């Protein structure tokens, strides 16, 4: 079958499917979500086995935990959370009923979306997440608008195309679900060629939606994506990838592309939303840390960069630290050691080796640590390549700014806002004592950071894994200055008028946390690249999310403690 015939058949099936989707009420949509949830559970092992082959991970590698936690796990939790949202609307309630809502800085309200329920409180104790709405949105408005496309299921919005990502294998199916449920569209998913081997698993998972014409999944090269995007019957496009790919779709690649962009006349004649990554910073606030704190947080920072070998849109690329921190040199020694301890892996993502070579040739001070690269001595200027080039590989930079805690924080926020490319996520690492001393000043700093996810003593990747949190760039980007994209996904409470998500975690793991007055019993997180039992822990956690039951909890806790 030719590409053109395949696309025409796809679009024709989706046109029919849209009519069936408009007739599918809340109960029917909830039932579909529950069917998909069951299918993910049934095919999770096969999914991870294929993912391991794509990424060159041995069957006994602890790093298989990354494929459980970034593959079937977030799809399971999102499907369950969306089904609960549909159930609330069926009962005539707002999806946010029962969720704590507080006042946030700057005339905002914040909805506490994690933990929700006893299981989440137990399994990720000490972690919290809030969704901040835009200034001026009140509680009543938030309650009335929550639900998005589920509030009017009969009013469908045409055919949407999703151009899938090739790095994290839950991104594409999660984007399909968001288009289907939140945006009320039927969906054609074009897989990234890296993920083509997952086609049989995804077709089995989405079988109930495929059979009814709600979803179609296609493979192929750029010509297939281009034909789908330009098809006259396609209403909208959502993509995950690079800003360069986005601009090629919107403005074209011919000689007139730059002129179109300058004139604001896009080649694409339909709306496009996007999640495009960027250069994510981690701000390390100075404080008085113990030796154990220095080692643990160095592993935390190494994880933020080296999870999935750096092929994450929100992988931390630059650590921002105080030049005047008395413990700076000790922390950097621990960071180098943590990178060296982290297991190496195949550079499966296209172009990775070239990007590493580019970083090493750009910076004469680059320090190779095995296949990874650490670049110290960055400066906060617009001409600094590491602040504007998303290396998407195991390259981590270090930027030093002057000042003690308060002055450093003020300068770090300004530099992250004004000098870094992208607004997807920013991390902050700070001792609890430092947070207490800063108090309202720290809350003000969080408010000023223009990022879609702000993580405090946690990695922004936790925000990606939190179904009811939002995921996407800070609002306000335009087609001609796209940065990290336009729009959000995930957002399983289907909140309107969202601005950002704020994630918080414990500074220390248990049992040290309890000994120092942090009342959390979470051990070293299983997503740490240095966690020895992450594959077992995250496999068990995913299995639990497929079929929650009390008797499975001890096995998860024992494995987590051994990590």
Q: In angstroms, how far is CA 112 from the centroid of its own chain?
A: 18
Cα dihedral 216, 221, 223, 224, rounded to 10, equals -10
pLDDT < 70 regions, the chain: 1-5
453, 496 contact by CB (below 8 A): no
Residue at 265 is within a domain: yes
At 198, which CATH number?
3.40.605.10
For residue 489, being part of any structural domain is answered with no
Could you please report the per-residue DSSP string of 378-432?
Answer: E-SSTT-GGGT----SSEEEEEEE--SHHHHHHHHHHHHHHHSS--SEEEEE--H
> Is residue 412 domain-resident?
yes
- Residue 343 DSSP symbol: P
Residues 294 and 249 in one domain: no
- Give the separation between CA 287 and CA 143, rounded to whole angstroms: 41
User: Under 8 Å CB-to-CB from 340, ≥6 apart: which residues?
Assistant: 369, 370
Flag whether 160 is in a domain.
Answer: yes
Scanning the structure block, which residue is given the tokens 């999660």?
174
What are the pLDDT digits (tens) for 97-141?
A: 999 999 999 999 999 999 999 999 999 999 999 999 999 999 999
Q: Tell me the per-residue pLDDT of 292-318, one tens digit each, with 9 for 90 and over.
A: 999 999 999 999 999 999 999 999 999
Judgement on whether residues 408 and 444 belong to the same structural domain of the protein: yes
Q: Are residues 334 and 368 in the same domain?
A: yes
Given 426, 456, 486, the domain boundary residue is 456
Say whether both 373 and 447 belong to one domain.
Answer: yes
313 shares a domain with 217 = no
Boundary of a domain, candidates 275, 296, 318: 275
Cβ atoms of 198 and 70 closer than 8 Å: no
How far is residue 336's CA from residue 298's CA, in Å, rounded to a whole number? 8
Q: What is the CATH classification number for the domain harbouring 422? A: 3.40.309.10
Per-residue pLDDT at 221: 92
Predicted confidence at residue 3, as pLDDT, reads 64
Phi/psi of residue 285, nearest 5 degrees: -75, 135
DSSP H stretches of helix in 25-138: 26-55, 64-70, 72-90, 118-123
- Determine, yes or no, domain membership for 13: yes
Distance, in Å, from the CA atom of 331 to the CA atom of 321, rounded to the nearest integer, reads 10
Q: Are 260 and 379 members of one domain? A: no
Q: Is residue 419 part of a domain?
A: yes
The answer to whether position 110 is within a domain reads no
Same domain, 191 and 307: no
Last residue of a domain, one of 456, 475, 502: 456
Mark whether 374 and 264 lie in a shared domain: no
Residue with tokens 């000490």: 126
Question: Is 6 within a domain?
Answer: yes
What was the pLDDT predicted at 382?
80
Per the structure, the complete domain to which residue 174 belongs is given by: 1-23+154-275
pLDDT of residue 1: 43
- Condensed to tens digits (0 to 9), the pLDDT of residues 331-354 reads 999 999 999 999 999 999 999 999
* Domain co-membership, 433 together with 383: yes
How many domains does the chain fold into?
2
Say if residue 183 is in the same domain as residue 260: yes
Q: What is the pTM of this model?
A: 0.97
The pair phi, psi for residue 499, each rounded to 5°, is -115, -50
Residues 327 and 445 in one domain: yes
| Residues 380 and 430 reside in one and the same domain | yes
């Amino acid at each position: 079958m030719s590409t053109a015939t395949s696309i025409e058949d796809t679009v024709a099936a989706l046109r029919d499917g849209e009519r069936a989707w408009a007739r599918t009420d809340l109960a029917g949509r909830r039932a579909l979500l529950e069917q998909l949830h069951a299918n993910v559970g049934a095919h999770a092992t096969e999914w991870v086995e294929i993912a391991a082959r794509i990424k060159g991970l041995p069957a006994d590698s602890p790093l298989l935990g990354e494929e459980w936690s970034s593959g079937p796990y977030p799809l399971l939790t999102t499907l369950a959370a969306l089904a609960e949202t549909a159930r609330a609307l069926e009962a005539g309630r707002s999806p946010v009923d029962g969720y704590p809502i507080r006042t946030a800085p700057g005339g905002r309200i914040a909805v506490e979306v994690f933990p929700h329920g006893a299981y989440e409180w137990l399994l990720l104790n000490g972690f919290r997440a809030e969704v901040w709405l835009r200034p001026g949105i009140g509680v009543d408005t938030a309650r009335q608008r929550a639900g998005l496309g589920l509030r009017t299921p009969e009013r469908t919005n045409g055919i949407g195309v999703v151009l899938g990502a090739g790095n994290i294998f839950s991104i594409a199916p999660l984007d399909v679900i968001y288009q289907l449920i939140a945006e009320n569209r039927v969906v054609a998913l074009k897989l990234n060629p890296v993920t083509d081997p997952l086609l049989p698993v995804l077709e089995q998972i989405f079988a109930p939606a495929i059979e009814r014409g709600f979803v179609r999944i296609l493979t192929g090269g750029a010509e297939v994506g281009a034909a789908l995007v330009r098809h006259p019957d396609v209403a909208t496009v959502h993509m995950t990838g690079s800003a360069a790919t986005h601009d090629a779709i919107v403005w074209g690649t011919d000689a007139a592309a730059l002129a179109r962009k300058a004139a604001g006349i896009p080649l694409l004649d339909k709306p496009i939303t996007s999640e495009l990554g960027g250069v994510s910073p981690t701000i390390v606030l100075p404080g008085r840390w113990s030796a154990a704190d220095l080692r643990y947080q160095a592993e935390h920072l190494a994880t933020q960069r080296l999870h999935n070998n750096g092929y994450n849109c929100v992988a931390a690329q630059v650590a921002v630290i105080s030049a005047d921190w008395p413990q700076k040199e000790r922390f950097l020694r621990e960071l180098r050691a943590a990178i060296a301890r982290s297991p190496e892996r195949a550079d499966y993502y296209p172009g990775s080796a070239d990007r590493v070579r580019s970083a090493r040739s750009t910076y004469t001070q680059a320090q190779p640590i095995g296949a990874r690269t650490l670049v110290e001595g960055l400066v906060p200027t617009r001409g600094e390549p590491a602040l504007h080039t998303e290396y998407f590989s195991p390259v981590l930079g270090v930027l030093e700014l002057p000042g003690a805690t308060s002055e450093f924080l003020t300068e770090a926020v300004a530099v992250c806002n004004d000098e870094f490319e992208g607004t997807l996520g920013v991390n902050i690492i700070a001792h609890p004592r430092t947070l207490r001393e800063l108090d309202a000043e720290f809350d003000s700093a969080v408010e000023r950071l223009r990022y879609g996810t702000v993580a405090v003593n946690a990695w922004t990747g936790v925000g990606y894994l939190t179904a009811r949190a939002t995921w996407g760039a800070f609002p306000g980007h335009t087609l001609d200055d796209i940065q990290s994209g336009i729009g959000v996904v995930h957002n399983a409470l289907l909140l309107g008028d969202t601005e950002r998500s704020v994630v918080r975690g414990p500074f220390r793991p248990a049992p040290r946390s309890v000994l120092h007055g942090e009342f959390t019993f979470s051990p070293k997180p299983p997503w740490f690249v240095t966690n020895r039992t992450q594959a077992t822990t995250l496999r068990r956690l995913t299995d639990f999310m497929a079929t929650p039951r009390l008797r499975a909890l001890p096995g998860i806790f024992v494995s987590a403690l051994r990590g």
